[in-house]
Amino acid sequence: MDRVNGFSKLSKDEKIDWLELQLKKFGTSSVVDVKKFWHKDENLQKIFDDFSENTISNFYFPYGLAPNFKINEKIYTVPLVIEESSVVAAASKSAKFWLSRGGFQARILSTTKKGQVHFSWKGPKEKLFNFFSVIKSELLFSVKDIVANMESRGGGIQDVQLIDKTDKLEHYYQIDVKFETCDAMGANFINSVLESFGENLKRLALSHEAFLDSEKEIEVIMCILSNYTPECLVNVVLECPIEELGEFSGKMSPLEFAQKFERAVKIAKVDVNRAVTHNKGIFNGIDALILATGNDFRAIEACGHAYAAKDGQYRGLSSCSLKNGRFRFEMTLPLALGTVGGLTKLHPLAKVSLDILGRPSARELMMIVASVGLAQNFGALRSLITTGIQKGHMKMHLLNILNQLDATEQQVEFAKDYFQDKTVSFSSVRELIEKDQPFQ
Ligand code: MEV
């Protein structure tokens, strides 16, 4: 592609014209098709355009529903945005299985979020700590206007600490701040408070007597929330008598199934190769619901993976135990979510998703998201230790292949039947379609 100046100043049509020219130079004969995916409602399209910069179209993902999630005695239908076939089917299947076995028992362990002012100070430590103890209340006073609204909703600043990090990096200190942000994800609120702390820290240091005899200045490096939220935790449990696993145990006895399942979970606790894939399966469900509700899946993923490695080794997030004839499968993970503000309010489908979920609070959404993650993990492990995942996967994949091959409805039905007991591959499906029998 050619270099371009002032690209952001071009109109949407001009950007597409530029792209078209570039593609022609590459020898791509097809006209850029992106306009096909513009929304016919111009106002709505404007909303999507304004989410980001240099937008030229929309990228569609499937929006599906997984019904029958019983969480703390309430039944939810869960909206999921995901392109990977079989995720919604697996979530629905697990949810249905647990519906008659007590469902998901979820609880919030804590909802604290954090952020830091990262700064350098080359002077004596004691001086800094004395100074901080004197100015702490002034710092808090300086943000009273920013926190007023959050406090009226029951949230605000929970704690402010000066942390010595000089054993990790020379001259490095933090002001570590804990927040409660109620139903908001709270990123803007937290960052505003931290930036104000950063400015006031420098200002107060300049004029404070403790610093007058020192040539050293506080250098604020950055003020930013942390997406690592190990104190914003939810726990979810699935539990039933082992013999009730029979329906899902394939050719194994329920006990054999339970033992193999427990073993599979333990493998993910000790082997990083397996742990990453195990957790990826959990995030198949989590991300899909995070996206559907307009939350930030990058933040949730980054945090979840850091939490999975909290003791120095990356481990599977879920745990399984078999005791007194009972199967118990559970997971505790950090989820910093919002149900008000940000994209949850702006994206029309995020609003729909929250309506489908019954307009949950952030705490309730944490419990739903964790349940979907555990359901997904249960479904994946069940397949892995019984039939293998390819069977179910390929059934869904078959439909994608048939779509790509423009199969007729009759061909789709025939192929579904034909591949019941055969391995699906792109070439085997194409061969069947090309033979075109018995389609005529
Ligand atoms: C595929 O997207 C997810 C799985 O690989 C998860 C797992 O292996 O647990 C099936």
Q: Which three-class secondary structure string do you get for the chain?
A: CCCCCCHHHCCHHHHHHHHHHHHHHCCCCCCCCHHHHCCCCHHHHHHHHHHCCCCCCCCCCCEEEEEEEEECCEEEEEEEECCCCCHHHHHHHHHHHHHCCCCEEEEEEEECEEEEEEEECCCCHHHHHHHHHHHHHHHHHHCHHHHHHHHHCCCEEEEEEEEECCCCCCCEEEEEEEEECCCECCHHHHHHHHHHHHHHHHHHHHHCHHHHCCCCCCEEEEEEEECCCCCEEEEEEEEEEHHHHHHHCCCCCHHHHHHHHHHHHHHHHHCHHHHHHHHHHHHHHHHHHHHHCCCCHHHHHHHHHHHHCCCCCCCCCEEEEEECCEEEEEEEEECCCCCECCHHHHCHHHHHHHHHCCCCCHHHHHHHHHHHHHHHHHHHHHHHHCCCCHHHHHHHHHHHHHHHCCCCHHHHHHHHHHHHHCCCCHHHHHHHHHHCCCCC
Q: Are residues 117 and 70 in the same domain?
A: no
Å from CA of 67 to ligand 1 middle:
21
Query: Does residue 55 form part of some domain?
Result: no
pLDDT of residue 440: 44
Residue at 255 is within a domain:
yes
For residues 381 and 310, membership in a common domain is answered with yes
What does the buried/exposed string (b/e) look like for 337-353 if buried means 16 or more CB atoms within 10 Å of the residue's CB?
bbbbbbbbeebeebbeb
CATH of the domain at 133: 3.30.70.420
Return phi, psi of residue 310, to 5°: -65, -25
Domain final residue, candidates 202, 226, 250: 226
**Do 222 and 120 belong together in one domain?**
yes
Biggest CA–CA distance in the chain, Å, is 94
- In this structure, the answer to whether residues 380 and 400 fall within a common structural domain is no
296/397 same-domain check = no
The residue with tokens 């701040």 is: 177
Sheet containing 172-180: order of strands: 156-164, 172-180, 113-120, 219-226
Residues 279, 379 within the same domain: yes
Name the residue range of residue 263's domain.
64-108+235-387
As to burial, measured by CB atoms within 10 angstroms (0-12 exposed, 13-18 middle, 19+ buried), residue 199 is: middle
Q: Are residues 383 and 405 in the same domain?
A: no
HSE-CB for 178 with a 13 A CA cutoff: 11
Q: What span, in angstroms and rounded, lies between the C-alpha atoms of 223 and 23?
A: 42
CA–centroid distance, residue 292 to ligand 1 (Å)? 21
Residues 276 and 423 in one domain: no
Whether residue 58 lies inside any domain: the answer is no
The reply to whether 177 and 273 lie within a common domain is no
Q: Provide the pLDDT for residue 424.
A: 84
Ligand 1 site residues, Cβ closer than 6 angstroms: 84, 277-278, 280-281, 284, 380, 384, 389
Question: How are beta strands 172-180 and 219-226 bridged, if at all?
Answer: unpaired
57 lies in some domain: no
- Do 187 and 167 share a structural domain? yes
Number of domains the chain contains:
4
One digit per residue, the tens of pLDDT, for the chain of length 440 reads 899 999 999 999 999 999 999 988 888 766 568 999 999 999 999 999 999 999 999 999 999 999 999 999 999 999 999 999 889 999 999 999 999 999 999 999 999 999 999 999 998 999 899 999 999 999 999 999 999 999 999 999 999 999 999 999 999 999 999 999 999 999 999 999 999 999 999 999 887 776 766 667 899 999 999 999 999 999 999 999 999 998 878 889 999 999 999 999 999 999 999 999 999 999 999 999 999 999 999 999 999 999 999 999 999 999 999 999 999 999 999 999 999 988 888 899 999 999 999 999 999 999 999 999 999 999 999 999 998 877 766 777 888 899 889 888 888 889 988 888 787 888 989 988 888 655 44
Minimum CA distance residue for ligand 1 atom 9:
278
Per-residue pLDDT at 342: 84
Distance CA 39, CA 61 (A): 14
**Nearest protein CA to atom 6 of ligand 1, as residue:** 281
Nearest CA to ligand 1 atom 2: 281
Whether 276 and 214 map to the same domain: the answer is no
Q: What is the pLDDT of residue 11?
A: 96
Establish if 138 belongs to a structural domain: yes
pTM: 0.90
* 342 alpha carbon – ligand 1 mean position (Å): 31
* 59 in a structural domain: no
Instruction: For residue 325, tell me if it sits in a domain.
Output: yes
Query: Which amino acids are annotated catalytic?
Result: 84, 280, 296, 393
pLDDT score, position 213 = 62
Tell me, yes or no, whether 376 lies in a domain: yes
Quick one: 325 and 411 in the same domain? Answer: no
CA distance 176 to 165: 11
User: Hey, how many other C-beta atoms are within 10 angstroms of the C-beta on 135?
Assistant: 20
Residue owning tokens 């200045």: 217
How many A from CA of 99 to the centre of ligand 1? 23
Q: Whose CA is nearest to atom 10 of ligand 1?
A: 380
Cβ–Cβ < 8 Å for 233, 333: yes
Out of 165, 194, 226, a domain closes at 226
Q: In this structure, how many other beta carbons lie within 10 angstroms of the beta carbon of residue 273? A: 10
Name the domain boundary from 226, 246, 270. 226
